[in-house]
Amino acid sequence: MLLHLLNRSPAGSRLPEDVLRAMGPDDRLLLIESGVYGAVSPQADCFKTLKGRCYALQDDLSARGLAERHADWIIPVDMAGFVALTAETQRTVSWY
């Protein structure tokens, strides 16, 4: 099981499509930095298939004024939650 880190918004990059193609059925996705723009609808729609295993970094949501605006299938996590996700998964893959 891998944790994928994505720091690009779906609005300005095709990278999220590549991540989705590469992800295994149990892999998790964490949106960080400008990747959290993908946590807000309608951009978030592309991650709907990941319900229950798609996360967004709370600090980065807050820094962009998106703290309460993420889609309901996106799970917000703080930095401690980020660390926990890396500990629970075998490896971390960064997409940029």
Partner 1 sequence: MASEQGKLRYALVVLGAPYSQAATHSALRFGEALITQGHRLDTVFFYHDGVYNTSRLAAPPQDEPHLVDAWVRLANEQGTELLVCVAAALRRGLLDEREAQRYGKPAFSVEPPFVLAGIGQLVEAGITHDRMVTFAP
Per CB under 8 A, residues contacting partner 1 are 5, 7, 32-34, 59-60, 79-80, 82-84, 86-87, 91-92, 94, 96
Work out how close the CB of 3 gets to partner 1 at its nearest, in angstroms, rounded to a whole number: 9
Minimum CB distance to partner 1 smaller for 2 or for 73: 2
Work out how close the CB of 33 gets to partner 1 at its nearest, in angstroms, rounded to a whole number: 4
Q: Is 4 helix (H, G, I), strand (E, B) or coil?
A: strand
DSSP H or E stretch at residue 88: helix 79-88
Residue-wise over 38-77: b if at least 16 C-beta within 10 A, else e? bbbeebbeebeebeebbbbbbbbbeebebeeebbebbbbb
Minimum CB distance to partner 1 smaller for 6 or for 40: 6
Work out how close the CB of 86 gets to partner 1 at its nearest, in angstroms, rounded to a whole number: 5
Minimum CB distance to partner 1 smaller for 49 or for 94: 94
Looking at residue 30, the DSSP 8-state letter turns out to be E
